């Protein structure tokens, strides 16, 4: 009898051990819901520092029913990526979580439904909430701007930009609250991609310092700390990062090609109404001053080539344009939102950042006189 009780206790303890071990895992239970055709495997990749890339850690076989499962010991909070074909699904894993993933096909896209991961939920909700805040503050103004642009009404455009300036501090306050709500989740890494460091450096720094205090050793914190150091490394007066790109006519263009001239580098996109609202004035300034020691260079950011080319033609932009397809140039200048610009001096140093066309005009008048 005692032996039986001893064995029962052993099994109970063993059961507790197995249960505890299970609790230290994070897992994925996935399915390609209601699909007759689906990929044979799903690749799991983890965010790696210092490369800031996702490196493969496992391949999950998909069974004949479209089901797949995977689990691994939870070691540290991190971002993960599931890849099948050309599709990717990102997960923000903050603790031991058991994720349920249902993937369905709609038209030519795979649409995931993810439950069981608070960090992942926060990560996907952030851009949605951001769009809602943008629509709340600037939605009506966007429509007014479209009409003013169509009518080439510069006076109305100026009034709209003034209204945007008045509303922007309230929008930033909401954004700060949204970032605070993320806490020290790995979702912070993706959220900060939506914030322009030239306008929100203090907010970004506060968020990164919070991550450094609460989760100093995880890969994304190390990456964010390095990002902050780089961001502070190109202040006004420092040398502008060099870059190379292809122009509209296929020629290779380097920043160093413009040595000896004042250069206005404009980061823009066809879909950015605020960018294009400035174009009529910029075209005027270009024609007035490009014969002097001044020129312009446009950098198309995250734009479809056809739309980008059509916008250049429609706005009649005469200066050289580069399409930053890989986002390498924008990343080097920490361009996270549009519009953005820098004015470089003849030595290639950053003289001004994020100035309006009206401010550029005053600077050029000071350099070359009124035209």
Position 239 in a domain: no
Residues 139, 108 within the same domain:
no
What is the mean predicted confidence (pLDDT) over 270-299? 94
Q: Which of these three, 116, 144, 174, is where a domain ends?
A: 116
Position 13 in a domain: yes
pLDDT surpasses 50 at 343: yes
CATH number of the domain residue 112 falls in: 2.60.40.10
Position 238 in a domain: no
pLDDT band at residue 23 under the 50/70/90 scheme: low
Between 132-141, 148-157, 185-194, 274-283, the lowest mean confidence (pLDDT) is in 148-157
Closest CA to 240 of 347, 354, 360: 347
Distance of CA 145 to the CA centre of its chain: 25
Residues 323, 364 within the same domain:
yes
Residues 77, 129 within the same domain:
no
Between 4-18, 25-39, 323-337, the lowest mean confidence (pLDDT) is in 4-18
pLDDT surpasses 60 at 57: yes
Position 110 in a domain: yes
Q: Give how many domains the chain has, as a whole number.
A: 3
Q: Which of these three, 177, 209, 232, is where a domain ends?
A: 232
Residues 250, 334 within the same domain:
yes
pLDDT band at residue 17 under the 50/70/90 scheme: very low
Position 237 in a domain: no
Q: Is the Cβ–Cβ distance between 198 and 334 less than 8 Å?
A: yes
**pLDDT top residue among 172 and 149:** 172
Residues 227, 252 within the same domain:
no
Residues 128, 111 within the same domain:
no
Residues 228, 199 within the same domain:
yes
Residues 213, 273 within the same domain:
no
Q: What is the pLDDT of residues 314-342, one digit of tens each?
A: 999 999 999 998 889 998 888 877 889 99
What is the mean predicted confidence (pLDDT) over 84-90? 93
CATH number of the domain residue 324 falls in: 3.40.30.10
Residues 347, 264 within the same domain:
yes
pLDDT given at position 336:
74
The pTM assigned to this predicted structure is: 0.72
Which residues, in sequence order, are CB contacts of 249 under 8 Å at separation 6+? none
Q: CA angle 316-320-323, nearest 5°?
A: 95
Kindly report the average pLDDT of the chain as a whole number. 89
Please give the Cα distance from 168 to 348 (Å, whole number): 31
Position 307 in a domain: yes
Quote the radius of gyration of the chain (alpha carbons, Å).
26
Residues 301, 346 within the same domain:
yes
Q: Is the Cβ–Cβ distance between 80 and 9 less than 8 Å?
A: no
Position 314 in a domain: yes
Residues 87, 162 within the same domain:
no
Q: Which of these three, 83, 116, 149, is where a domain ends?
A: 116
pLDDT band at residue 166 under the 50/70/90 scheme: very high
Domain that holds residue 57: 2-116
pLDDT surpasses 90 at 3: no
Residue with tokens 């263009």: 253
Residues 133, 77 within the same domain:
no
Q: What is the pLDDT of residues 347-360, one digit of tens each?
A: 999 999 889 999 99
What is the mean predicted confidence (pLDDT) over 17-38? 75
What is the mean predicted confidence (pLDDT) over 269-274? 90
């Amino acid at each position: 009898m005692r032996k039986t009780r001893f064995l029962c206790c052993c099994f109970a303890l063993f059961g507790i051990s197995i249960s505890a071990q299970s609790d230290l895992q994070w897992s994925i239970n996935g399915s390609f819901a209601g699909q007759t055709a689906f990929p044979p495997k799903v690749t799991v990749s983890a965010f790696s520092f210092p490369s800031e890339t996702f490196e493969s850690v496992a391949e999950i076989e998909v069974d004949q029913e479209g089901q797949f499962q995977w689990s691994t010991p939870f070691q540290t909070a991190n971002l993960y990526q599931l890849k099948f074909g050309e599709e990717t699904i990102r997960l923000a894993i903050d603790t031991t979580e058991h994720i349920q993933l249902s993937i369905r096909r709609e038209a030519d896209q795979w649409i995931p439904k993810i439950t069981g991961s608070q960090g992942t939920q926060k990560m996907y909700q952030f851009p949605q909430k951001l769009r809602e805040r943008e629509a709340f503050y600037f939605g009506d103004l966007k429509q007014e701007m479209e009409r003013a642009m169509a009518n080439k009404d510069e006076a109305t455009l100026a009034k709209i930009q003034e209204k945007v300036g008045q509303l922007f501090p309230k929008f930033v306050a909401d954004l700060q609250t949204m970032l605070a709500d993320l806490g020290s989740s790995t979702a912070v890494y993706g959220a900060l991609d939506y914030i322009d460091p030239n306008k929100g450096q203090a907010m970004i720094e506060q968020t990164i310092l919070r991550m450094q205090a609460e989760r100093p050793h995880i890969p994304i914190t190390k990456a964010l700390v390095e990002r902050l150091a780089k961001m502070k490394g190109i202040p006004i007066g420092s040398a502008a990062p060099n870059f190379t790109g292809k122009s509209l006519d296929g020629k290779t263009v380097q920043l160093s090609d413009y040595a000896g001239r004042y250069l206005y580098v404009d980061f823009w996109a066809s879909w950015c109404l605020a960018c294009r609202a400035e174009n009529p004035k910029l075209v005027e300034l270009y024609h007035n001053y490009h014969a002097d020691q001044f020129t312009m260079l446009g950098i198309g950011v995250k734009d479809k080539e056809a739309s980008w080319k059509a916008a250049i033609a429609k706005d009649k932009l005469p200066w050289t344009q580069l399409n930053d397809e890989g986002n390498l140039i924008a990343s080097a200048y920490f361009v996270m939102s549009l519009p953005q610009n820098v004015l470089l001096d003849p030595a290639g140093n950053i003289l001004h950042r994020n100035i309006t066309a009206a401010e550029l005009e005053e600077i050029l008048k000071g350099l070359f006189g009124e035209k």
